[in-house]
Copies of this chain bind each other. A is one copy, B any other.
Amino acid sequence: MSSYPKPINQLIESLSYLPGIGPKTAERLAFYIITMSGNKVDHLITALQNAKNKVFNCSVCNNLTDRDPCLICQDERRESGLICVVQDPKDVIAIEKVRDFQGRYHVLQGVISPMEGIGPDDLNMKELLERINSENIKEILIATDPTVEGEATAMYLTKLVKPMGVKVTRLAYGLPMGGDLEYADEMTLQQAFEGRKEM
A64 touches B34 (CB 8 A): yes
Closest to A64 in B: B5
CB distance from A63 to the nearest CB of B (A): 9
Give CA–CA (A21, B33) in the complex, Å. Answer: 13
Is there an interface contact between A48 and B45, defined as CB atoms closer than 8 Å?
A: yes
- Would you give the shortest CB distance from A184 to chain B, in whole angstroms? 14
On whether the beta carbons of B7 and A50 are closer than 8 Å, the reply is yes
With contacts A14-B43, A20-B25, A32-B18 taken as known, whether A51 is within 8 angstroms of B7 at the C-beta atoms is yes
- Nearest chain B residue, comparing its CB with the CB of A19: B32
Whether A38 contacts B52 in the complex (CB less than 8 A), given A14-B43, A47-B7, A96-B3, comes out as yes
Q: Given A3-B93, A19-B28, A10–B52 Cβ distance below 8 Å?
A: no
Question: How many A residues have CB within 8 A of the partner chain?
Answer: 53
Contact A54 B7 (CB under 8 A): yes
**Distance between A42 CB and nearest chain B CB, rounded to angstroms:** 8
Is B50 in contact with A10, judged by CB distance below 8 angstroms? yes
Query: Quick check: B50 and A11 within 8 Å, CB to CB?
Result: yes
- Copies of this chain present in the complex amount to 2
Of all chain B residues, which has the CB nearest A67? B5
Interface string of A150-174 (1 = CB under 8 A from B): 0000000000000000000000000
Residues of B within 8 A of A18 (CB): 29, 32-33
One digit per residue, 1 when the CB lies within 8 angstroms of any chain B CB and 0 when it does not, for chain A 67-85 equals: 1001000000000000000
Q: When the two chains form the complex, which single residue of B34, B66, B90, B96 contacts A6, counting CB atoms closer than 8 Å? A: B66
8 Å CB contact of A48 from B1, B41, B55: B41
Among B13, B38, B65, B92, which residue has its beta carbon within 8 angstroms of that of A47? Answer: B13
Not counting A14-B47, A15-B47, a sample of 6 additional A-B residue pairs whose C-beta atoms are within 8 angstroms of each other reads A5-B67, A7-B47, A8-B51, A10-B51, A27-B90, A36-B52
